[in-house]
């Protein structure tokens, strides 16, 4: 006899019509010339809607209505009677009624697509691996899944991680912190957390930085057609060692930028002391700092050498104790970022022009910018405490 999959749509319709007419499974099978299993299978798979199901769909109760609201139940027939008449399990009858009440249809609902190959267990494995080592690549994860017989494309792995909130990002670069550095940073932040704003406004912030003529490493994007990648307008020229560079020392306070000094040659303790002698006190006067002003400097060996320490003591310059590896605690770093961005936008062609642009743009820094950096300094300290001495977003 024919199996269910071999039945025509007409034969299936005959099953729908014959079953509710008190025809048992054997009589229906004999009438259509098919097997008993074909009759049962046609009803169980949900591919057909019997007259009882049609009666249910035409009498779909309002939300919250009971099963007694259906005509089939009003006629006194329950799950047991329906299941016996149709040759279906009671759970199947109950599922049909529940499906209609929930979705308004007994037809197969649209699915999301092909079932994923990544099992819940494999997904947990992926999440555990990238959580343990964020530098793990999707190719490495692909090989890891292959070892447990889960074969998927690496793009599938990236999509699955993305659905779990894990996306590929360029890592931020921060100074390497030892346990000693972390402890010192946390101690500094806690010690100065309650300092009055006036203390920070009377601090002279200092630092050195280097800028290369063609060496600013940033990502660039252009619009071009295919096969035009090496046209002159579509390339960015590079020069060995940045084409030359300029090292400068600068200072600022809440009231505005101080003096800027170009460092020629090698920087050592003697050169640093000369820069301090020529620029610190004039900057303090220009910025109108109080007599209780404090000099901030990092722990570069030139700044903390024995000769420099004696020079500072001799010239009565009080310095702020400073934790190593802490550029995020020095707001002058933001001014260096602003300065380099503006100078490169003007595209200097040689080192001499670079030096002049540096001085010109430094003098143009608005005092309001400096004031805002110092006014929010407390937030930097709070961030360090929150990070327990670790890296911050500054």
The pLDDT value recorded for residue 310 is 95
Q: Edge-to-edge strands of the sheet including 256-263?
A: 256-263, 245-253, 203-212, 294-296
Residue 171 lies in a domain: no
The CA distance from 118 to 155, in Å, is: 12
> How far apart, in Å, are the Cα atoms of 10 and each of 13, 31, 202, 211?
5, 13, 94, 83
Q: What is the per-residue pLDDT for 72? A: 52
34: Cα separation from own chain's centroid: 60
Contact residues for 60 (Cβ-Cβ < 8 A; gap 6+): 100, 101, 104
Tell me the C-alpha distance between 302 and 309, whole Å.
Answer: 10
For the chain, the domain total comes to: 3
**Helix, strand, coil: what percent of the chain each, to 5?**
55, 10, 40
Q: Are residues 96 and 25 in the same domain?
A: yes
* Predicted local distance difference test score (pLDDT) of residue 229: 80
Residue 296 is predicted with a pLDDT of 96
pLDDT at 218: 56
Examine the domain organization and report whether 148 and 222 are in the same domain: no
Q: How far is CA 342 from CA 42, 85, 211, 238, 336, in A?
A: 76, 85, 12, 19, 10
Q: Is residue 173 part of a domain?
A: no
Whether residue 136 is found in the same domain as residue 16: no
Residue-number span of the structural domain to which 53 is assigned: 4-103
Do 74 and 223 lie in a common domain? no
Both 127 and 95 in a single domain? no
CATH code where residue 304 lies: 3.30.420.10
Per-residue DSSP letter, 305: S
Q: Does residue 108 sit within a domain?
A: no
Whether 46 and 189 map to the same domain: the answer is no
Question: What pLDDT does 237 receive?
Answer: 67
Same domain, 151 and 291: no
How far apart are alpha carbons 169 and 176 in whole angstroms?
A: 20
Is 254 inside any structural domain? yes
311 assigned to some structural domain: yes
Q: Alpha carbon of 130 to those of 121, 125, 137, 138, 146: distances in Å?
A: 15, 9, 9, 9, 16
DSSP state of 61: P
Same domain for 279 and 130: no
Last residue of a domain, one of 63, 78, 103: 103
> How far apart are the C-alpha atoms of 94 and 387, rounded to whole Å?
57
pLDDT for res 60: 39
Same domain, 368 and 322: yes
User: Which pLDDT value is given to residue 41?
Assistant: 53
Residues of the chain falling short of pLDDT 70: 1-77, 86, 214-221, 237-243
Length of the chain: 394
End position of a domain, from candidates 77, 103, 129: 103
Coil, helix or strand for 77? coil
Q: CB–CB of 1/37 below 8 Å?
A: no
Contact 308, 273 (CB under 8 A): yes
- Here the tokens at position 385 are 């405490």
Residue 109 in any domain: the answer is no
pLDDT of the residue at 64: 36
Contact 284, 318 (CB under 8 A): no
Asked if residue 111 belongs to a domain, the reply is no
Give 140-178 pLDDT, tens digit per residue.
Answer: 999 999 988 899 999 999 999 999 999 888 888 899 999
The answer to whether the beta carbons of residues 279 and 250 sit under 8 Å apart is no
Whether 365 and 314 map to the same domain: the answer is: yes
Report the run of H or E that residue 366 belongs to, with start and end: none
CA distance 315 to 310: 9
- Return the residue matching tokens 């009565």: 316
Residue 115 lies in a domain: no
Same domain for 356 and 332: yes
* Cα Rg of the chain, angstroms: 39
Query: Are 379 and 323 found together in one domain?
Result: yes
Structure confidence at residue 102 (pLDDT): 82
User: Per-residue pLDDT tens for 322-358?
Assistant: 999 999 999 999 999 999 989 888 888 888 888 899 8
The helix or strand, by DSSP H or E, that contains position 303, with its residue range, turns out to be helix 301-304
Classify residue 321 by its DSSP letter: -
Q: Supply the pLDDT for residue 7.
A: 44
**What's the rounded Cα separation, in Å, for the pair 293 and 284?**
8
Please give the pLDDT value at position 348.
Answer: 85
């Amino acid at each position: 006899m024919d199996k269910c999959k071999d039945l025509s749509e007409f034969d299936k319709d005959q099953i729908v019509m014959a079953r509710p007419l008190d025809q048992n499974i054997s009589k229906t099978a004999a009438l259509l010339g098919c097997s008993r299993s074909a009759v049962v299978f046609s009803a169980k798979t949900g591919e057909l809607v019997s007259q009882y199901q049609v009666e249910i769909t035409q009498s779909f109760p309002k939300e919250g209505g009971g099963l007694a609201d259906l005509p089939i139940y009003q006629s006194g027939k329950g799950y047991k009677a329906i299941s016996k008449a149709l040759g279906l399990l009671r759970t199947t009858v109950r599922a049909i009624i529940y499906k209609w009440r929930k979705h308004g249809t007994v037809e197969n609902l649209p699915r999301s697509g092909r079932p994923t190959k990544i099992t819940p267990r494999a997904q947990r494995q992926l999440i555990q691996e990238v959580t343990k080592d964020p530098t793990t690549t999707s190719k490495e994860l692909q090989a890891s899944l292959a070892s447990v017989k889960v074969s998927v494309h690496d793009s599938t792995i990236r999509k699955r991680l993305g659905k779990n909130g894990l996306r590929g990002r360029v890592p931020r670069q921060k100074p390497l912190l030892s346990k000693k550095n972390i402890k010192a940073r946390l101690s500094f932040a806690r010690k100065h957390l309650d300092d009055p704003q006036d203390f920070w406004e009377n601090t002279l912030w200092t630092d050195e930085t280097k800028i290369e003529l063609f060496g600013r490493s940033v990502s660039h994007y252009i619009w071009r057609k295919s096969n035009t990648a090496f046209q002159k307008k579509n390339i960015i020229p590079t020069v060995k060692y940045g084409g030359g560079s300029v090292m400068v020392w600068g200072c600022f306070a809440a009231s505005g930028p101080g003096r800027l000094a170009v460092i020629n040659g090698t920087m050592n303790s003697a050169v640093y002391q000369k820069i301090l002698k020529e620029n610190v006190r004039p900057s303090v006067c220009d910025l109108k700092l109080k007599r209780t002003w404090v000099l901030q400097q990092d722990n570069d060996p030139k700044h903390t050498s024995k000769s420099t320490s004696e020079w500072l003591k001799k010239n009565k310059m009080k310095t702020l104790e400073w934790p190593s590896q802490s550029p995020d605690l020095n707001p002058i770093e933001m001014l260096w970022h602003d300065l380099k961005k503006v100078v490169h936008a003007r595209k200097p062609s040689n080192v001499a022009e670079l030096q002049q642009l540096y001085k010109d743009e430094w003098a143009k820094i608005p005092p309001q910018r400096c004031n805002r950096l110092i006014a929010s300094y407390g937030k930097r300290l709070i961030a360090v405490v929150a990070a327990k001495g670790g890296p911050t977003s500054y």
